[in-house]
Structure formats: C-alpha cells, structure tokens
Amino acid sequence: MLIKKADVLKAAEITPYEIYLKRRDFLRAGSALAVSALLPGVAEATTRLSGIVSSPYSTSEEKTPYKDVTTYNNYYEFGTDKSDPAENAQGLRTRPWTISVEGAVKRPKIWDIDALLKAFPIEERIYRLRCVEGWSMVIPWEGFALANLIRQVEPTGSARYVEFTTLHDPAQMPGQRSSVLNWPYTEGLRLDEAMHPLTILAVGLYGQTLPNQNGAPVRLVVPWKYGFKSAKSIVRIRFVEQQPKTAWGRAAPSEYGFYSNVNPQVDHPRWSQARERRIGEFFKRKTEMFNGYGEQVARLYQGMDLRKNF
Ligand SMILES: Nc1nc2c(c(=O)[nH]1)N[C@H]1C(S)=C(S)[C@@H](COP(=O)(O)O)O[C@H]1N2
Ligand SMILES: [Mo]
C-alpha cells in the first residue's frame, strides 16, 4: 500500500473541504493504519461526531480553513514552531484517557473520555480565537458548556478558582524534554468565568473529533481571552481556593497575567495588542475588547482595573 504524502497534500489544497474529508475517510477505510502512520498532520485519526446541535453563541464570520486551523498551532509540548504540532503530535495516544475532576467539590469524579463524550449534548460553537502573538482565526468547535460538568461535581463554598492541567508525559511529548515551559502546562479561571455559558470544553472541530495538534481528546476554549488560556489535552480539572499558577505566568509573570482578557488597550510589554491579523487575510484589523464578546462578559469584570488585572 503506497500513498505518497505529496499527493494527499496536493489534494487537500485544491479540493473543497467536504470532498477532501470524504476522500480521506475512503482512504482511511482502506488502510487505517497506513494512512495515519504515513501522513502525519494530514490524515490525522479523527472521526466524525454525530448529533451536533447548533448554538446561538456562534459568530457568522468566515471560518478559517481547516488546513490552517490544523497546521498553524501553538502546542509547545510538541515543539515551538507553528508547524511542529501537526508533525509531532500524531503519535499521541488519546485512548484510554481520563479527566479527574477534583478538589473543592462534593462529588469528585474521574471521567473516561468516551463517557464524557456521551454525557453532554455536543454543540457547534463558531468562535473567534485571538492569540497573544497578534493573529486570530475563526474556528467551528464541537463541545459543551463547562458549566454543565461543574454543576455535576457541586463545588463547595471554598471553590473560587478552577485549575486545568495538560497531560505530562515526556515520552510522548518531546517538548517536555526541554524546559521552554515549566511542565505540565496549567491554566486557570475564576469560578464565575468557568461557569460562564461561553466557556466550553471542546472535543472536536469542523464536525470531527479534535486533531491531536489542537488538543485531543479534550481542551478548554474561552473565546474572550487570549488563546493560551485554552489548555489542551486536559487530564485534570481542580477546584481551588487560591488563584492557581499558570504555565505562562510562571514563565514570564510581567507578560502574562492571570486574566489574559483580550484587551487592545493593554499592550503586551514587547508589542501592541491594538491590531491583529486574521489568518488568511492581508490587512490587519482592529482588535476588539474581550475579542468582541464584551456584551456577554464585561459584567464579570465590573469595578476591576483591567490594566492591573491584565
Ligand atoms: N498544553 C498546551 N495548551 C496550549 C498551548 C500549549 O503550548 N500547550 N498553547 C496555547 C496557545 S498560545 C494557543 S494560541 C492555543 C492554540 O490553539 P490551536 O492550536 O487549537 O489554535 O492553544 C493554547 N493551549
Ligand atoms: Mo497563543
């Protein structure tokens, strides 16, 4: 069985996405192992999600092509270049996979990923994603409101923050063998941010399960915050009293605050945040406060100095 990587790459470039997917499924049916082993980054082992309901929270802006969403990534566990995760994450084993929901809760629970996929109705949420580096995309995520899961575990009165932890497995994650970041990758939200209906756990994109480079099998998406808040490949969700440390906050506290709300008025110490480049567009556009989600989330920060709490 010989399928040349170049041929499939070419097909992906010139074929409308739907046809490309069908052809890829056909190829995969014929040689599941061969295709996923030979074509890293292109024929990643995703499967179609069914029973997806649409969401009133979606933007109608033009979606970023699947190819850009899945080949232009930040996932430092698999390398620091944008193309590294698509190349290096294909071997990540996402089954079996459990997510421990623990800490200040009445009903801690270790979720099996397949049980989690069945437990909550999966919605499509087309969200803008703004990276702190100055680019943005529009991504159709499949996922469910994190609040649904939080209600099940019943946080106690001392739960004020939620900490999210990515898998720590240097054998599978080559980036963890160097110290670009303090592993494992962690992120955090205030409990009310975590409960906000816009905050989702994503299990897929473009109707398929998540490609590994996008954080399979489950990742956080918080659309009004810079992209680094959305921890990938989550193994633990912990409810705590104190504000948790975050991976980027530990690496550079003066550059990456806990809140990390998209805010064109607060520059990153080394560059302006006033504008952004939508991937695929030539001219930069103005960055919107809270990434355009202000109407829904501004009330969470009433009375806070967002220059101090950046
Ligand atoms: N574990 C982990 N999660 C991570 C990152 C990372 O390096 N490691 N990068 C973050 C950054 S900076 C961004 S912009 C988004 C990118 O998500 P995407 O590749 O799906 O677009 O993932 C975030 N989640
Ligand atoms: Mo980012």
Q: For residues 42 and 24, what is the distance between their CA atoms, to the nearest angstrom?
A: 9
pLDDT on residue 139: 98
Helices (H), 145-198: 146-153, 191-195
**CA 112 to CA 66: how far, in whole Å?**
28
Query: In the prediction, which pLDDT does 95 show?
Result: 98
Sign of CA dihedral 259, 264, 269, 270: positive
pLDDT, one tens digit per residue, over 13-34 is: 333 344 444 544 555 444 444 3
Given a contact cutoff of 8 angstroms between Cβ atoms, the answer to whether 126 and 113 are in contact is no
Report which protein residue has its CA nearest ligand 1's atom 6: 75
pLDDT block averages, 10 residues each, the chain of length 310:
38 39 48 42 75 95 98 98 98 98 98 97 98 98 98 98 99 97 98 98 98 98 98 99 98 97 97 98 97 98 98
Task: Record the pTM.
Answer: 0.88
Q: Please say whether the beta carbons of 221 and 204 come within 8 A.
A: no
Ligand 1: residue whose CA is nearest its atom 4 = 231
CA distance 48 to 34: 19
Summarize pLDDT for 148-181 with one digit per residue, the tens. Answer: 999 999 999 999 999 999 999 999 999 999 999 9
93: tokens are: 């084993």
Instruction: Name the residue ranges covered by the structural domains of the chain.
Output: 15-301
Looking from the CA of residue 205, the nearest atom of ligand 1 is 20
Take residue 82 and report the two structure tokens written for it: 């944008």
Token code pair at residue 248: 């980027």
CATH class of 15-301: alpha beta
Cis amide linkage into residue 223, ω under 30° from 0:
no
Any residues with Cβ below 6 Å from ligand 1, and which? 73-77, 129, 131, 166, 185, 214-215, 227-228, 230-232
